[in-house]
């Protein structure tokens, strides 16, 4: 719908066609784009997805909407459509809401009913964000309540420190967690981060939120066995605070403009966990991103969830070796990534060349004992990245013409950065080994979990559909209640 | 005795933007140039093939161009369309 509005604003009349399942999303997008009166024709989802396969099957549907399409292109605008509408009120309800009942239990129930009815909650009970409780949350940071971090899509709501504090209270967070929550929100509101795809896509994308450095331990985050799961207030409340903040500031709602068809597979809290640095083998992840090893940082990355988490074992079922785990990791990367070669050379889903297709980033969790074994084999993070990258390659002779054309197109368009072009030019000849990843930095290794542990990975597009980045690291700062993150 | 909660609104405020009406409509489709634009998603090719055929059968001299591009039409494509066509139909296969 935004594309339709873009063309209309250039003075060309048009009409948008959308399925009824996506109608709320289309109407919302028209309003978000500044043209609520844009004309659109609604077709039955049940019918369209069934008949779209051939022209013969779809003909009756097209015939049924033909006059409407023509009419929307030619019928003069009504007085209502042609009027310059008033700008919409950007608030969503009063700043303060009062709930009064006979008992605490009734008031608590009414508060939760009201917030969920307004689409301000996530379906689980919320902690009431009273002014006192929000003030309590704000005491965890030096950042000013009215500081604006940025905006969040799809509806470009403004994220202030105070609004995030309201959502953090609702999530059950504590003020010492708040600097972590703010750093994660700094990333999601960053102008280069693709928040739209992860929050609104029909695919079930989610986030990982990784805290590295001493702050995680100081605020009681859990990084041992079960680290991705429930039972750990810091992990779970931080992830829930970010989820609620995206829901309320970006103003998403399932089926309305969050079009995940099976739902978000991290429905109430994003995967939030600390990197395990007790092994002492490697520097923390954020040191590989240019931060000081002694800093405390948050890394946020979009990950695909509806696809399988890739397991490389370790664990307790059988014996394992670091070499075997690495073999499985390499095989998985090659199997998943080699199919994408043709897409390297495509213009892209969005404005950025190659966006929404092509090679992935892989976020690999190594359990501490595995990291130790890899350390004994001589690997640090950069050496492991290079080793896996070099091994995750396909013989030139196995590439199709479309594969080669895709890679060459990617080089031409800059999807393969200029400093990597020579690697691929050298490989695209008989005897060459063609890497399935664009760069070793596409491999992100974290040390996480306990003993025994399991290695696994999640992955996502290296170039997201609607913006430049799907992974970012940010230093935590402004903390008032902890030594780290100050 | 009653219990009162006063609670804060968690919603991010949206900066009010100037809203605009759609572009003026065409008087007629005869002799015009129309773009049928999609993001290439499955089914839009067949929908547009049939639509284009029906439009040209009804309106003599109507020129129909199929165009595939980004989900959100890129700036350069949008500028080209603005110069080259009189109207458009837009679909993203959903």
Interchain pair B47, A62: CB under 8 A: yes
Q: Between chain A and chain B, how many beta carbons pairs sit less than 8 Å apart?
A: 272
Nearest-Cα residue of chain A relative to residue B72? A3
> Do A39 and B22 make contact, defined as CB atoms within 8 angstroms?
yes
pTM: 0.93
Q: What distance in Å separates residue B79's CA from the closest CA in chain A?
A: 8
Interface test mutation site (partner B, options A9, A17, A35, A244, max chain B beta carbons within 10 A): A17
- Between CA A75 and CA A13 the distance in angstroms is 11
Taking alpha carbons only, the member of A473, A411, A402, A413 closest to residue A441 is A473
Residue A185 CA neighbour count, 13 Å, CB half: 38
Q: Is there a domain that residue B8 lies in? A: no
In this prediction, residue A308 carries a pLDDT of 55
pLDDT of residue B17: 82
Chain B positions in Cβ-Cβ contact with residue A63 (cut-off 8 Å): 54
**pLDDT tens digits, chain A, 486 residues: what are they?**
999 999 999 999 999 999 999 999 999 899 889 999 999 999 999 999 999 999 999 999 999 999 999 999 999 999 999 987 776 668 899 999 999 999 999 999 999 999 999 999 999 999 999 999 999 999 999 999 999 999 999 999 999 999 999 999 999 999 999 999 999 999 999 999 999 999 999 888 999 999 999 999 999 999 999 999 999 999 999 999 999 999 999 999 999 889 898 888 888 999 999 999 887 778 999 999 999 999 999 999 999 865 556 777 777 777 889 999 999 999 999 998 999 999 999 888 888 888 888 889 999 999 999 999 999 999 999 999 999 999 999 999 999 999 999 999 999 999 999 999 999 999 999 999 999 999 999 999 999 999 888 999 999 999 999 999 999 999 999 999 999 999
Q: Which of A50, A47, A46, A76 minimizes the C-alpha distance to A64? A: A47
In terms of DSSP H, where are the helices of A75-121?
Answer: 79-82, 104-117
Q: Is residue B71 part of a domain?
A: yes
Q: Chain A: nearest CA to B60, how far in angstroms?
A: 14
CA-CA distance, A453 to A228, in Å (whole number)? 12
The number of domains in chain B is 1
What pLDDT sits at residue A306? 57
Per-residue pLDDT tens over the stretch B17-30: 889 999 999 999 99
By Cβ distance, the residue of B13, B22, B91 closest to A90 is B13
Per-residue confidence (pLDDT) for residue A359, from 0 to 100: 87
| Distance (Å, whole) CA A275 – CA A365 | 9
Nearest CA in chain B to A171: B10
| Distance, CA of B16 to CA of A11 (rounded, Å) | 23
For residue A474, the model assigns a pLDDT of 98
- Within a domain: B62: yes
**Chain A residue whose CA is closest to B44:** A52
Within a domain: residue B10? no
Residue B44 falls within a domain, yes or no?
yes
Which range of residues forms the domain containing residue B67?
33-91
Structure confidence at residue A358 (pLDDT): 81
Q: Is residue B78 part of a domain?
A: yes
Structure tokens of A449?
Answer: 């979990």
Q: Which of A22, A94, A167 sits opposite B94 (nearest CB)?
A: A22
> Which residue of B lies nearest to A166 if distances are taken between CA atoms?
B10
H helices of A139-219, in order, are: 161-171, 178-188, 195-200, 215-218
If residue A158 lies in a helix (H) or strand (E), which one and from where to where? strand A157-160
What pLDDT is stored for residue A350 in this prediction?
85
Q: Is residue B21 within 8 Å of A81, Cβ to Cβ? A: yes
* Rounded Cα–Cα distance for residues B28 and B9 (Å): 50
| Closest chain A residue to B27, measured at CA | A74
Cα–Cα distance for residue pair A115/A170, rounded to 1 Å = 10
Question: Which one, of A201, A195, A307, A198, lies nearest residue A260 by Cα?
Answer: A201
Q: Going by DSSP bridges, is the β-strand pair A454-461/A310-314 parallel, antiparallel, or unpaired?
A: antiparallel
The two structure tokens encoding residue A455: 């290695």
How crowded is residue B78: how many other Cβ atoms within 10 Å of its Cβ? 20
What per-residue confidence (pLDDT) applies to A37? 94
Distance between CA atoms of residues A30 and B64, nearest Å: 25
- Find, among B17, B8, B40, B92, the residue nearest to A16 by Cα: B92
Chain A residues whose beta carbon lies within 8 Å of the beta carbon of residue B91: 16-18
**Pairwise CB contact (< 8 Å): B22 & A167:** no
In a domain, B46, yes or no: yes
**Which residue in B22, B34, B66 has the most chain A C-beta atoms within 10 A of its own C-beta, making it the best mutation to test that interface?**
B22
Per residue in B52-71, pLDDT (tens digit) is: 999 999 998 999 999 999 99
What integer pLDDT is reported at residue A462 of this predicted model? 94
- C-alpha angle A433/A391/A422, rounded to 5°? 45
Task: Answer whether residue B79 is part of any domain.
Answer: yes
pLDDT number for residue B60: 86
């Amino acid at each position: 719908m935004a594309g339709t509005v873009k063309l209309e604003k250039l003075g060309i009349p048009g009409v948008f066609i959308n399925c009824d399942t996506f109608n709320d999303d289309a109407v919302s997008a028209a309003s978000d784009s500044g043209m609520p009166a844009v004309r659109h024709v609604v077709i039955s989802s049940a019918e369209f997805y069934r008949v779209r396969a051939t022209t013969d099957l779809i003909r009756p549907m097209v015939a049924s909407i033909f006059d409407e399409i023509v009419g929307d292109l030619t019928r003069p605008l009504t007085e209502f459509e042609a009027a310059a509408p008033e700008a919409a009120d950007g608030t969503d309800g009063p700043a303060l809401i009062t709930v009064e009942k006979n008992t605490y239990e009734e008031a608590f129930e009414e508060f939760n009913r009201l917030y969920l009815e307004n689409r301000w909650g996530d379906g689980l009970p919320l902690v009431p964000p009273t002014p006192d409780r929000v003030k309590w949350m704000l005491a965890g940071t030096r950042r000013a309540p009215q500081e604006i971090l940025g905006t969040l899509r799809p509806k470009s709501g403004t994220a202030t420190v105070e609004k995030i504090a309201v959502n953090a209270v609702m999530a059950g967070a504590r003020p010492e967690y708040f600097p972590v929550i703010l750093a994660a929100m700094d990333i999601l509101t960053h102008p280069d981060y693709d928040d739209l795809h992860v929050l609104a896509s029909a695919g079930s994308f989610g986030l990982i939120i990784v805290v590295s450095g001493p702050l995680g331990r100081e605020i009681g985050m859990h990084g041992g066995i079960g680290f991705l799961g429930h039972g750990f207030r810091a992990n779970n409340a931080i992830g829930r605070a970010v989820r609620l903040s995206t829901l309320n500031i970006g103003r998403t709602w399932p089926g309305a403009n969050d079009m995940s068809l099976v739902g978000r597979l991290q429905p109430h809290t994003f995967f939030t966990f600390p990197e395990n640095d007790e092994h002492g083998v490697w520097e923390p992840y954020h040191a590989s991103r240019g931060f000081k090893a002694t800093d405390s940082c948050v890394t946020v990355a979009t990950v695909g969830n509806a696809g399988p988490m890739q397991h490389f074992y370790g664990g307790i079922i059988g014996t394992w070796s670091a070499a075997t785990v690495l073999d499985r990791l390499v095989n998985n990367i090659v199997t998943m990534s080699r199919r994408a070669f043709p897409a390297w050379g495509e213009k892209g889903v969005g404005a950025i060349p190659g966006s929404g297709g092509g090679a992935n980033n892989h976020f690999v969790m190594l359990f501490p004992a595995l990291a130790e074994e890899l350390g004994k084999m001589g690997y640090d993070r950069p050496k492991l990245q290079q080793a896996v990258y070099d091994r995750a390659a396909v013989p030139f002779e196995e590439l199709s013409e479309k594969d080669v054309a895709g890679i060459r197109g990617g080089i031409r368009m800059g999807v393969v950065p200029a400093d990597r072009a020579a690697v691929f030019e050298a490989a695209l000849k008989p005897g060459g080994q063609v890497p399935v990843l664009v760069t070793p930095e596409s491999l992100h290794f974290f040390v996480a979990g306990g003993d025994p542990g399991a290695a696994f990975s999640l992955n996502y597009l290296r170039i997201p559909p609607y913006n430049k980045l799907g992974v970012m690291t940010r230093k935590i700062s402004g903390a008032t209640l902890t030594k780290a993150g100050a | 005795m009653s219990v009162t909660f006063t609670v804060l609104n968690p919603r991010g405020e949206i900066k009010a933007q100037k809203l605009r009406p759609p572009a003026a409509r065409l008087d007629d489709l005869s002799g015009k140039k129309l773009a049928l634009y999609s993001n290439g998603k499955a089914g839009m090719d067949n929908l547009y093939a049939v639509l284009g055929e029906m439009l040209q059968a009804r309106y003599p001299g109507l020129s129909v161009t199929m165009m595939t591009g980004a989900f959100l039409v890129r700036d350069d494509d949008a500028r080209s369309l603005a110069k080259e066509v009189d109207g458009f139909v837009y679909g993203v296969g959903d």
